[in-house]
Amino acid sequence: MDIVVFGAGSLGSLVGGLLAREHDVTLVAREDHARAVRESGLRLEGAINGGPSRVFPVATTDGAGLEAALAVVTVKSFDTASATETLATGAFDAILSLQNGMGNEATLAARLEAPVLAGTATYGAILREPGVVECTGRGDVVLGARAGESSALADRVGEAFVAAGLETTVAEDMPRRLWEKLAVNAGINAVTALADVDNGAILEAPADDLARAAARETARVARSRDVDLSNRSALAALESVATDTAANTSSMRQDILSERRTEIDAINGYVVDCAAQAGLEVPMNRTLTTLVRTWEGGRDLR
């Protein structure tokens, strides 16, 4: 399958690199990373299964006018709108969002003619240097129709991912899966970023109270939107991901360490916005959102 990975940072490079073991892959990346991949290939390190540790996908900085069977979107949530404008200049049979936060699929679908699939990925990834990505924790990819129904297209994409060795599930309940991931991210990302700790820290006091409160609030907001996500399920998912990625650096913590803008608006901030629409109070998510936005504002990142 011809696949474009649009936004080949840490996760995009890992997913794209693994896909490149089996498929024809084009990475759309920043100039230094794209140059290194063009010159020496992409080196895969860390917790990956057997297979080549160096692959040779096409790498470019220009995502305009590309054509492929599938575009996998892995840009930051605040870049989704601009990515959509660029993707619209090309031609794709399907689009798959593997992004953090909520609202990305709707943004993509509003402008693109190709059907948009929703997805989540729990692989840990860090771009160590241009041309080198490390898998810091094995996870899985879950994908499916964004409205939650069965999809032959999702089945085909899932088969392509499995063929490349990615642990992949095709699901018919993506709305619940997306909100469950949001609950996990709401509990892990801002807390670990603000406290500058690994993911496993939210399993222990005093951080566990903060993370669990954020996840519970997220589940409550999900239910207000007719998504069947219990507090127990949200907390179980939070604990499972934090345990499996205990030594990992969350994506938001990576952003803060690098003094980059975070995805707070699409994670805890999204919970706050949806809660306001439903007349619900989410004090923990509101506090975490305010703190991260204040940090960003102090560095002129907003």
Residue 12 and residue 99 in contact, taking contact as beta carbons nearer than 8 Å: no
Q: Tokens 């994506």 sit at which residue?
A: 251
For the chain, the distance separating the N- and C-terminal CA atoms, rounded to the nearest angstrom, is 38
Residue pair 187/215 in contact by the 8 Å Cβ criterion: yes
Using alpha carbons, select from 291, 275, 276 the residue that is nearest to residue 182: 275
Helices (H), 1-149: 10-19, 31-40, 80-87, 104-111
CA-CA-CA-CA torsion sign (62, 65, 68, 70) = positive
Residue-by-residue DSSP string for 59-87? EES--TT-EEEEEEE-S-GGGHHHHHHHH
Angle between helices 283-298 and 174-195 (to 10 degrees): 60
The residues assigned a catalytic role are 181
Tokens of 206: 């005093």
Place of tokens 């360490």: 257
Q: Which two tokens stand for residue 82?
A: 């601009």
17-30: burial string, b at 16+ Cβ within 10 Å, e else:
bbbbbbbebbbbbe
